[in-house]
Amino acid sequence: MILEQFGWNGYFEAQACAGIPGRVASANHGRFLVWTANGEVDASVSGLLRRSSPLWPAVGDWVVLREGADVIVKVLERKTKLSRKQPEREVREQVLAANVDVLFIVSGLDRDYNERRIERFLVIARESGARPVVLLNKSDLADELGLDLAAVVARTAALSPGTRVVPLSALSDHGLDALPELVAPGETAALIGSSGVGKSTILNRLLGDERQRTNAVRAWDSRGRHTTTTRELFTMPGGWLLMDLPGLREVQLWATTEDLADSFDDIKELAGACRFRDCAHTGEPGCAVGAAGLDPARLANYLKMQGELANLKQKIAPRPARDNQPKRKMTKRSSRPHLNHDS
């Protein structure tokens, strides 16, 4: 096996150290399938890495294995990182995938299609450093659903000018031939979206093999069960790699307000013309954003995500260190006014 086929390049080679480099192809309960130049290795994590490293191996990571042992001793610095807030009360990051170059955001043109959810995925892509591409699957249902496909594509493209939008039908293979052209040999792409949008079907069609199990969606709401339960990396014809991610029920952001602003270029540009520098775009006088006639739902979604990220920043901000000096005893002061006996 040649490491370059798995995405190895000068960025990772510059971090090389003693040991055997490899790429994490899948993970399952603390065990990791690692691709190396000598073949696949079923590896665990060293105790030192478990105790002291801030990085825990994720699918797509480049790692270093100990010579003579199937043990991961180091995780190399990531080029990109796809993350979300862990969907629970505890405020912490969940790394979904590492070193992804292209993020295929998959939305079904049935009842799954939701512009506000697509906007969230676009923010996640912006934060990760991957190039986003929106895939509108089930285009064969457009006529049946009474959709103007060209109008839906144009409306989706307007959410993030410059982002490629590809209508396709995984069942009929229509539009799938455009995807390999968007990923260079040695690059890694990932499929992300809700359950039932057809991610596993897209993967199987591109591979020409039924590698991932698929299920039909429910008729009444077009939702599907989690057919993909683990993150896994696949080598594709043409020399690129594709990762199928489990469907996400929650898309909680792990990003910055700067990432959000960059994902909403129209609002960012208009905000520079607001009368007040700290304008919240909620009806203030002289608000250029409010006067621009933007889609109210788009602006509301932007403000909602802005509030989420401000709250997230407050929760993860480091608390000021407490004074280690012993506290001085406070003398009890009289509540009576001070009397000047000289007067």
Query: Is 59:232 a contact under the CB 8 Å cutoff?
Result: yes
Please give the Cα distance from 246 to 93 (Å, whole number): 17
| Both tokens assigned to 11 | 């960025």
Q: Which residues pair with residue 232 across a beta bridge?
A: 26, 244
Closest CA to 134 of 169, 107, 94: 107
Please give the Cα distance from 181 to 238 (Å, whole number): 9
- pLDDT at residue number 211: 52
Dump pLDDT digits (tens) for 19-41: 999 999 999 888 999 999 999 99
Domains within the chain, CATH numbers bracketed? 3-75 (2.40.50.140), 81-244 (3.40.50.300), 257-316 (no CATH)
Please give the Cα distance from 159 to 175 (Å, whole number): 21
Pairing of strands 102-108, 188-192: parallel
Dump pLDDT digits (tens) for 90-116: 788 889 999 999 999 999 998 779 999
- pLDDT at residue number 164: 96
Closest CA to 205 of 174, 173, 235: 173
| Both tokens assigned to 100 | 């992804």
Asked if pLDDT for residue 56 goes beyond 50, the answer is yes
